[in-house]
Every structure is written in structure tokens, then in C-alpha cells.
Amino acid sequence: MKSPRHQPPQEPALKLSDQEWRARLTAAEYHVLRDAGTERPFSGEYETTTTPGVYRCRACGAELFRSTEKFDAHCGWPAFWSPLAKDRIIELVDDSLGMRRTEVRCANCGSHLGHVFEGEGFDTPTDLRYCINSISLTLEPGDAPA
């Protein structure tokens, strides 16, 4: 059964050819952002970062998450309890790996960011854990807007 959070497929605003994406991204970035790969746990640059700021999509620069919604989930990847705004991401059913998960993609360019999990009992306002690959993000340091 589909969760009410899942959205119908939508066309991203930024459309590039495979060749253009490969020219724009490193091989590791392309693997995660365009092939829906995953970086190794506890290896990403933002996993334990506490720097204030806004996290952007590494592929297109769209603002996605704020540091004020980041929390330490001890899961090996940066975790957020909410995106910057619901229209910044797309949530899709992911039945790969023999389990049902919710994939998170950038709404602007369609790049894979990670997955969102619910009901894990974290003491956050939403009880959601947006588990995002560091390599999918860039951090713009500064005061995160309210």
C-alpha cells in the first residue's frame, strides 16, 4: 500500500543528458546522484557536521535541507527530520533490495539523495529520518533561515 507521502512521478525542471551529467559530476557523485547508489556508511563529509547553514543538491544547487533540522541518528549518513519544504523533494516507492523503502529525490533535477524512514522512535518533531548521502549535498555555511 502506498504511503500518503508518496508523490506521483513528476518531471524535474532541470533536464540534462547523460553525457551532460557525466561532465558535471565526478564518477562517485554520478554513481549516487544519477544511478541511485549509496556511499559507504560513516564515510561522508557531512555525517557528523554541526556547521549551521543550508544543504543544497550537489547536482543542481537547489536548497533542500537546513542544519536546524539535522540530527545525529548514529546511522552513518546525515539525517534530517524534515526537508526545507515539501516541494523541494520527491518521495517515491523503492522496492529494491527485497524491502519497501521511500526514496528521496531532488525535485529540481531528479537526482537521488537517499531514503526517508518513519516510525523509528527518534525524539524529533516528525519522527522521520531523511537519511541522505553526503555526496548528494553541498553545505552553504551561514545562518540557516527560519
What pLDDT is recorded for position 116?
96
Structure-model confidence comparison of residues 109 and 99, the more confident one: 109
Architecture in CATH for domain 18-141: Beta Complex (2.170)
* Sheet with 79-80: strands ordered across: 70-71, 79-80, 128-132, 112-118, 101-106, 89-94
131 annotated active-site:
yes
What pLDDT is recorded for position 99?
82
3-state secondary structure of 18: helix
Q: Domains of the chain: which residue ranges?
A: 18-141
Average pLDDT in the chain? 90
pTM value?
A: 0.88
CA 13 – CA 110 distance, rounded (Å): 8
Question: Given 57, 60, 106, 131, which residue is catalytic?
Answer: 131
Over the stretch 35-82, which tens digit does the pLDDT of each residue have?
Answer: 999 999 999 999 999 999 999 999 999 999 999 999 999 999 999 999
Q: State the residue for C-alpha cell 539535522.
A: 70
What DSSP letter does each residue of 24-85 carry, written as one string?
HS-HHHHHHHTT---PPTT-STTSS----EEEEETTT--EEEEGGGEE--SSSS-EESS-S-
